[in-house]
């Protein structure tokens, strides 16, 4: 464990955008703590360490308060610092509005909004004590545009944007920045699952639905997860020292249309 290294906690780090973000921060010299409900996070951590990085993986459900408290406490005590918190973990809910059950509504809010809330709540005391820190929370274009069958998912992302705006003001006196990032379509297991569902519901072949969804981006393609990890790293870097309370659209023109 290197005391000089900056420390980043990344949730949802077992795959997709979270895994790419963990790899990016590790390559930039951060010690990275990977949290996820999936054991595959162990493999990402092993890859990072094989490359010469420093990482630990812990199984953690971000919507479980005692798990979040314990994991964050461990990081704070072991490293004595938490420089960056990247809240990437999230779940999608793709369903016509009236078919959504109360349990599905609650689970979507508990993970996306609740998980972001809990992680910030337990990391902030460490950042306040050290009088610096950066938080990047994961929103989405779904928090900006009306997307059919994504009503409550979009609502969680809108809430995450609103939460970051107010939190940015609350923690600014402690030299802590809080921002969100709103990607368009990113090629991850989540999006492929989304397209698969849409394909089965509509009866259109997977590749046809994929083409339609790719056309929502000006370059007519999906992003690679690494193309989202880069702007997340930028928001956490000194280059973004005057950026707080902002949402960065990384949507290849989707909202601009």
Ligand X SMILES: NC(=O)c1ccc[n+]([C@@H]2O[C@H](COP(=O)([O-])OP(=O)(O)OC[C@H]3O[C@@H](n4cnc5c(N)ncnc54)[C@H](O)[C@@H]3O)[C@@H](O)[C@H]2O)c1
Stretch of 14-22, 213-221, 230-238, 240-248 contacting ligand X, by CB under 6 A: 14-22
Task: Determine the Cα–Cα distance for residues 162 and 146; give it in Å rounded to an integer.
Answer: 17
Smallest distance, Å, CB 40 to ligand X? 7
120: tokens are 């910030």
Task: Determine the Cα–Cα distance for residues 15 and 36; give it in Å rounded to an integer.
Answer: 9
Task: Please report whether residue 37 would count as binding ligand X according to CB under 6 A.
Answer: yes
Q: Which residues are catalytic?
A: 153
On whether the CB atoms of residues 119 and 163 are closer than 8 A, the answer is: no
Task: Please report whether residue 111 would count as binding ligand X according to CB under 6 A.
Answer: yes
Among 185, 210, 232, 252, binds ligand X (CB under 6 A): 185
Task: Determine the Cα–Cα distance for residues 16 and 26; give it in Å rounded to an integer.
Answer: 16
Query: Which stretches within 28-180 are classed as H helix?
Result: 41-50, 65-79, 102-109, 115-130, 151-171
Smallest distance, Å, CB 73 to ligand X? 17
Task: Please report whether residue 29 would count as binding ligand X according to CB under 6 A.
Answer: no
Among 10, 22, 34, 186, binds ligand X (CB under 6 A): 186
Among 31, 191, 229, 240, binds ligand X (CB under 6 A): 191
On whether the CB atoms of residues 22 and 48 are closer than 8 A, the answer is: yes
Stretch of 15-23, 72-80, 98-106, 206-214 contacting ligand X, by CB under 6 A: 15-23
Phi-psi region of 179 (alpha: psi -120 to 50; beta: other; left: phi over 0): beta
Binding site for ligand X (CB under 6 A): 11-12, 14-18, 36-38, 60-63, 88-92, 111, 115, 138, 140, 183, 185-186, 188-191
């Amino acid at each position: 464990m290197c005391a000089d290294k900056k420390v980043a906690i990344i949730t949802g780090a077992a795959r997709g955008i979270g895994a790419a973000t963990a790899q990016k921060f590790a390559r930039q010299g951060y010690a990275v703590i990977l949290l996820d409900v999936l054991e595959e996070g162990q493999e990402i951590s092993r890859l990072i360490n094989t490359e010469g990085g420093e990482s630990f993986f812990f199984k953690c459900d971000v919507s479980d308060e005692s798990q979040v408290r314990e994991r964050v406490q461990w990081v704070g005590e072991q490293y004595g610092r938490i420089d960056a918190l990247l809240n990437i973990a999230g779940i999608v809910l793709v369903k016509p509005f009236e078919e959504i059950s109360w349990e599905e509504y609650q689970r979507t809010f508990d993970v996306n909004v609740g998980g972001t809330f809990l992680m910030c709540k337990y990391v902030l005391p460490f950042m306040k004590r050290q009088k610096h820190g950066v938080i990047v929370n994961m929103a989405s274009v779904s928090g900006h545009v009306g997307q059919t069958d994504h009503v409550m998912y979009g609502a969680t992302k809108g809430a995450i944007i609103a939460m970051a705006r107010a939190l940015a003001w609350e923690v600014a006196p402690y030299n802590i920045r809080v921002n969100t990032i709103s990607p368009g379509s990113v090629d991850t297991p989540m999006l492929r699952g989304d397209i698969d569902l849409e394909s089965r519901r509509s009866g259109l072949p997977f590749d046809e639905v994929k083409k339609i969804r790719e056309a929502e981006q000006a370059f007519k393609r999906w992003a690679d997860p690494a193309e989202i990890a880069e702007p997340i790293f930028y928001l956490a870097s000194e280059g973004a020292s005057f950026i707080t309370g902002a949402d960065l659209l990384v949507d290849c023109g989707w909202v601009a249309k």
